[in-house]
């Protein structure tokens, strides 16, 4: 019987076997590639989730249930540990670096000190428009003192010429009779007025000794940081054998910031020349007045100057408060942050499970860097504000 099956060539069999082996290899490579891609994708989304790159709303759709549960557990452990050690960030927020946070801080205030030298010598009894020169001077001076009572200033009032008389026999008594009728301190206009009301114009004119007395008061009471003004009101030149110009030069070399302003009342010639030279030697201002209206205008200038100085002093004190407070507050906040870090790291081993330790540490270090950066930004912002206010106060010149 004839065989109807044809024999398959051997080379065809070997070809089919080779094709089968190649197909298996390709399938293995393909499957391996898919597995690697899936693994890489899972790792990518896990890292992104840990670093905040994936929103919380999409976590469940990206991660297997067990991994999602583990991450949630790690977050919970981290937050619990942080809350037990966390600093109060509101204490270090914008605006809390100001001086109001340190009202009890001891800051030495710079003040303006005024020594008024008032002429009550016999020539002040002369009249102008029916009114004695001493009364004109009293009224103008009282108004001036009333107007400056609220400034950051201390006041002393020296009087000369009110003792003895202007006769030669009383010269020694009168020239030595310089009196501080209002003691150095805060300004009380009513007391000053009562002292002025008791004065009579009778004696001599010891300008040099009065300037020496003013210098001694300031050397005892003022600090090197204070601004000091001597205001001399006189209607005459030195009559007690002193050298007021030399004394004034000595005042300028006494080591204090002192200006000597002089108001010459109804003077001229050699008298005015001497008074003007006193002001020049004292790096101050000389003014000439003839009546009460002139007095008030000059005292208004003095008042304006004191108000400017007072503004600059107050601004300087506030800046000192602000700058000191800001530096102190910044360092205080850094210290609190460092304490937070130390406490967190000391407790992380005990309070956080081993599988969450790396996650907790990574999250904390990220927080630490952010908070420290924010603190620096706040401090730099406040510092810029301080510098602007300092520049503004420097523009105020007495």
pLDDT (0 to 100) of residue 228: 92
Which SS3 state, helix, strand or coil, does residue 239 take? coil
The string of pLDDT tens digits covering residues 151-168 is 778 999 999 999 999 899
Q: Provide the sign of the torsion angle of the four alpha carbons 330, 334, 339, 344, taken in this order.
A: positive
Taking alpha carbons only, the member of 331, 375, 351 closest to residue 83 is 351
Reported confidence tier of residue 397, pLDDT bands at 50, 70, 90: very low
DSSP 282: T
The answer, yes or no, to whether residue 2 has pLDDT greater than 50, is: no
pLDDT (0 to 100) of residue 159: 97
CB distance 262 to 232 below 8 Å: yes
**Please, what is the average pLDDT of the chain?**
77
Which SS3 state, helix, strand or coil, does residue 179 take? strand
Mean pLDDT, residues 129-155 taken together: 91
pLDDT (0 to 100) of residue 91: 65
Write down the pTM of the prediction.
Answer: 0.56
The string of pLDDT tens digits covering residues 8-29 is 344 444 444 444 555 555 555 5
CB distance 46 to 63 below 8 Å: yes
The answer, yes or no, to whether residue 133 has pLDDT greater than 90, is: yes
pLDDT (0 to 100) of residue 151: 78
d(CA 287, CA 231): 11
d(CA 166, CA 244): 20
The answer, yes or no, to whether residue 394 has pLDDT greater than 90, is: no
Q: Counting Cβ atoms within 10 Å, is residue 140 exposed (0-12), middle (13-18) or buried (19+)?
A: buried
Q: What would the two tokens of residue 287 be?
A: 């003014």
pLDDT (0 to 100) of residue 20: 52
Distances (CA, A) of 347 to 79, 85, 124, 361: 13, 9, 85, 11
H helical segments located in 185-291: 189-197, 207-221, 244-252, 269-281
Distances (CA, A) of 155 to 74, 111, 198, 308, 317: 70, 11, 19, 17, 20
Strands 153-160 and 179-186: antiparallel
The answer, yes or no, to whether residue 370 has pLDDT greater than 90, is: no
Residues in the chain: 398
Q: What would the two tokens of residue 139 be?
A: 């009224």
Measured CA angle at 191 (ends 231, 198), to 5 deg: 80
pLDDT (0 to 100) of residue 17: 47
pLDDT (0 to 100) of residue 385: 63
CB distance 85 to 125 below 8 Å: no
pLDDT (0 to 100) of residue 345: 83
Taking alpha carbons only, the member of 260, 258, 261 closest to residue 298 is 261
Strands 112-119 and 127-128: unpaired
Mean pLDDT, residues 108-119 taken together: 83
Phi and psi torsions of 397, nearest 5°: -115, 125
SS percent in the chain: helix, strand, coil, step 5: 65, 15, 25
E-assigned strand segments in the chain:
112-119, 127-128, 131-132, 153-160, 179-186, 227-234, 258-265, 286-289
Mean pLDDT, residues 307-334 taken together: 60
pLDDT (0 to 100) of residue 119: 96
d(CA 194, CA 172): 27
pLDDT (0 to 100) of residue 212: 97
The answer, yes or no, to whether residue 261 has pLDDT greater than 80, is: yes
pLDDT (0 to 100) of residue 54: 44
The answer, yes or no, to whether residue 362 has pLDDT greater than 70, is: yes
pLDDT (0 to 100) of residue 83: 81
The string of pLDDT tens digits covering residues 178-235 is 999 999 999 999 999 999 989 999 999 999 999 999 999 999 999 888 889 999 999 9
pLDDT (0 to 100) of residue 224: 84
Query: Which residue would you say has higher pLDDT here, 176 or 64?
Result: 176
The answer, yes or no, to whether residue 254 has pLDDT greater than 60, is: yes
Give strand pairing partners of 112.
153, 227
Query: Which residue would you say has higher pLDDT here, 20 or 102?
Result: 20
pLDDT (0 to 100) of residue 172: 95
Q: What percent of the chain has pLDDT over 70?
A: 66
The answer, yes or no, to whether residue 272 has pLDDT greater than 50, is: yes
């Amino acid at each position: 019987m004839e065989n109807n099956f044809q024999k398959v060539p051997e080379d065809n069999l070997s070809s089919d076997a080779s094709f089968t082996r190649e197909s298996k290899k390709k399938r293995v490579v393909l499957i391996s590639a898919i597995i690697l891609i899936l693994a890489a994708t899972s790792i990518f989304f896990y890292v992104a989730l840990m670093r905040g790159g994936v929103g919380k709303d999409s976590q469940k759709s990206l991660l297997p249930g067990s991994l999602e549960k583990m991450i949630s557990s790690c977050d919970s452990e981290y937050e619990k540990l942080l809350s037990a050690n966390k600093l109060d960030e509101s204490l270090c927020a914008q605006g809390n670096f100001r001086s109001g946070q340190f009202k009890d801080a001891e800051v030495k205030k710079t003040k303006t000190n005024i020594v008024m030298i008032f002429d009550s010598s016999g020539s002040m009894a002369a009249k102008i428009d029916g009114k004695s020169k001493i009364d004109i001077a009293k009224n103008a001076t009282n108004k001036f003192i009333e107007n400056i009572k609220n400034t950051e200033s201390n006041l002393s009032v020296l009087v000369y010429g009110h003792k003895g008389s202007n006769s030669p026999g009383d010269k020694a008594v009168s020239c030595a009779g310089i009196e501080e009728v209002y003691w150095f301190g805060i300004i009380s206009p009513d007391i000053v007025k009562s002292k002025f009301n008791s004065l009579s114009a009778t004696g001599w004119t010891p300008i040099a000794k009065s300037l020496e007395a003013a210098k001694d008061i300031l050397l005892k009471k003022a600090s090197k940081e204070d601004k000091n003004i001597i205001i001399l009101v006189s209607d005459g030149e030195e009559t007690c054998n002193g050298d007021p110009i030399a004394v004034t030069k000595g005042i300028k070399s006494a080591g204090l910031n002192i200006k000597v302003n002089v108001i010459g009342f109804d003077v001229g010639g050699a008298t005015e020349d001497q008074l003007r030279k006193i002001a020049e030697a004292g790096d101050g201002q000389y003014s000439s007045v003839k009546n009460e209206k002139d007095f008030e205008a000059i005292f208004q200038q003095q008042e304006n100057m004191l108000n400017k100085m007072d503004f600059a002093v107050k601004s300087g004190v506030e800046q000192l408060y602000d700058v000191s407070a800001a530096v102190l507050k910044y360092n205080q906040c850094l210290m609190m942050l460092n304490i937070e870090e130390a406490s967190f790291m000391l407790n992380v081993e005990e309070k956080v499970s081993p599988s969450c330790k790396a996650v907790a540490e990574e999250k904390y270090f990220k927080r630490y860097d952010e908070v420290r950066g924010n603190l620096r930004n706040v401090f730099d912002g406040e510092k810029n504000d301080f510098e602007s206010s300092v520049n503004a106060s420097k523009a105020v010149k007495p």
